[in-house]
Structure 1
């Protein structure tokens, strides 16, 4: 895409090695979900309610800021580059130390709101965890995918 790209809904790329989205300006979408061998290159900023990455076989480069209410990185996902600042709440397993990750970004020092104020209640692990739950970060993985693929919001904010 030459210039900015604004998507009213979700961008979902559950890929096994084919497509790529290249935006030469800024990218704005409701939610962004990348899994598998997804490829996303954005020359400017990325803005979304949620930015979700699942799996490691990918190429994700953001040459500006990543601005999201919540960013969720799991299954060893970490963007290859965020040249600007990572804004919003970031959920990642403890083994993924974002302060030393090769993404070149600085985390936004804003205070962290409780997840119950940010995410839809159906996404939060309560009680005994299920087999697809991301227990280390407190998210129900199956509910997250179902809501994203169904076009439903992940955040509690309108």
Structure 2
């Protein structure tokens, strides 16, 4: 197996979980916050899409899907366009109220861009430094594994939240 095939598999697993989580979910369940203050499914899936979008686009020298394909305007969120959700307050989590179809459409567009990038990656590319703000500097390979780890965690959280019962104790 080639390195990029392994990465393609990892990002494909994120897409599978996102799709399964959004399948059959209603708008009320999307914005329900576990225990009243946990992150909603809508926020978790928006955030993981933004993380993958921003980081893959930056590493590949591409525009973000969020802005280049009009999703920022379509979502109409009260955040700066470059916002990815890091450090959001409870009020900002509550502000992410969008239909599941739009969340999936955005994530699918992000996923397609990620796949196109990964198709061109070879082992030599994975050693390319993409972020010098860290010590040691971050390579493309490390960044891609980091994105997979972060997004799989959020996708799992969203899937878990979908399975919780509704009500004040959920």
TM-score when normalising by structure 1: 0.30
Structure of higher CA gyration radius: 2
If asked which structure has higher relative contact order (CA below 8 Å, sep 6+), I would say 2
Whichever structure has more helix as a proportion of its residues is 2
